[in-house]
Amino acid sequence: MKAFVYRGPGKKALEERPRPEIAAPTDAIVKIVKTTICGTDLHILKGDVPTCQPGRILGHEGVGIVDKVGPAVTTFKPGDRVLISCVSACGKCVYCRKQMFSHCTTGGWILGNSIDGTQAEFVRTPHADTSLYPILEGADEEALVMLSDILPTGFECGVLNGKVQPGCTVAIIGAGPVGLAALLTAQFFSPAEIIVIDLDDNRLEMAKRFGATTGINSADGSAVEMVMKMTGKRGVDTAIEAVGIPATFEMCEQIVAPGGTIANIGVHGTQVALHLERLWDRNISITTRLVDTATIPMLFKTVESHKIDPKLLITHHFKLDKILEAYETFGNAAKTKALKVIIEA
Ligand SMILES: NC(=O)c1ccc[n+]([C@@H]2O[C@H](COP(=O)([O-])OP(=O)(O)OC[C@H]3O[C@@H](n4cnc5c(N)ncnc54)[C@H](O)[C@@H]3O)[C@@H](O)[C@H]2O)c1
Ligand SMILES: [Zn+2]
Ligand SMILES: [Zn+2]
């Protein structure tokens, strides 16, 4: 089969690889129909993710058709159309029992990380009964690809952890696919204002189309001042960090209102300053989270009923044999205006 393989920092290849086989009784083999590329895949290609070793097939998102199941799989059978969660969950361990699937002792984020992933014609999915979701006849499968990772990430790590409430003021820093997913799902709770901050005017334009009340380009260094002015010097109730660099986390520290929450989503690779000398008396909370995908069933319903339309995030389409081009396009988003790219296997 064709597969996209990480070959070490800065190196990648489309290769012929043997099809995966059932390795544990709870596994399924899924024939990929559509997959996509995540910002985290770009982190891996730079060599930022040491758990992902050269030779690994990347990808942790996608929809497909069950090809084979292990003898212990009871929920799915060959021919079933399924959504693949980016997080594999046994459903039984101490973390899974708390719905903290991202820390499953025999799963978590392993697909396209410590085991081969979805950017291939076939993938082996462990703990199939509790890590795959059935897709109903007639569903929009491209929209559902956004449910593997970015929608639950924006919603769980940003909106739920950030305690977004009716009438509150939210700032989202970073208008990439994850920040925009937080923007779409924050609107379930009718916040009064959603301010989106980024360096890319095109993404800020998109954000306004998706419901942001204000877009701020922070390139000139005046974003904090503008937010404080807009909020009567109070700051925002929820500051969502969706970039993953020190400057943007520190911006959250500067704009969070007394009693507010900083909800971190970004993957941080370097030390970030925590200004307790300024924040100790502000009654704030800071949350961190690796996406659990525990809200996939709920989000599924909101997509099926057209309460949100995650298809808005899809900007480009490629066939699997053009995946190197897809990476070029996704990796140069400022130039190509790419958000999510769909790859058809
Ligand atoms: N916690 C989790 O479970 C989880 C899951 C998925 C992704 N992530 C992380 O979420 C983050 C966002 O993911 P994405 O796919 O949307 O990434 P992305 O790179 O597509 O988007 C980041 C956005 O931040 C903007 N940006 C960069 N520097 C900025 C600055 N100084 N000020 C303002 N904006 C700036 C960029 O223009 C871009 O639009 C990444 O760090 C990713 O690894 C975390
Ligand atoms: Zn991802
Ligand atoms: Zn578990």
Q: Look up the pTM and report it.
A: 0.96
Ligand 1 pocket test: pick from 243, 250, 286, 336 the residue with the most ligand atoms within 8 Å of its Cβ. Answer: 243
- Express each pLDDT in 184-227 by its tens digit: 999 999 999 999 999 999 999 999 999 999 999 999 999 999 99
Report the C-alpha gap between 258 and 255 in whole angstroms: 10
Does any ligand 1 atom lie closer than 6 A to the CB of residue 200? Answer: yes
Mean pLDDT of the 102-112 span: 98
Question: Exposed/middle/buried for 161, CB within 10 Å: 0-12, 13-18, 19+?
Answer: buried
Nearest CA to ligand 1 atom 21: 176
Does any ligand 1 atom lie closer than 6 A to the CB of residue 247? Answer: yes
The amino acid present at 212, given as its one-letter code, is A
Pick the residue with more confidence: 48 or 108? 108
Angle at 221 between CA 220 and CA 225, to 5 degrees: 120
- Look at residue 115 in the predicted model and tell me its pLDDT: 98
- Look at residue 136 in the predicted model and tell me its pLDDT: 87
HEC-encoded secondary structure of 20-72: CCCCCCCCEEEEEEEEECCHHHHHHHHCCCCCCCCCCECCCCEEEEEEEECCC
Residue 263 reports pLDDT greater than 90: yes
Residue 290 reports pLDDT greater than 90: yes
Report how far ligand 3's centroid is from the alpha carbon of 66 (Å). 22
- Look at residue 186 in the predicted model and tell me its pLDDT: 98
Q: Which of the ligands is closest to the CA of residue 86?
A: 2
Does any ligand 1 atom lie closer than 6 A to the CB of residue 39? Answer: yes
DSSP characters for 216-258?
EEGGGS-HHHHHHHHTTT--EEEEEE-S-SHHHHHHHHHHEEE
Mean pLDDT of the 277-286 span: 97
- Look at residue 181 in the predicted model and tell me its pLDDT: 98
pLDDT band of residue 137 (cuts 50, 70, 90) is confident
The mean pLDDT value of the chain amounts to 97
pLDDT band of residue 279 (cuts 50, 70, 90) is very high
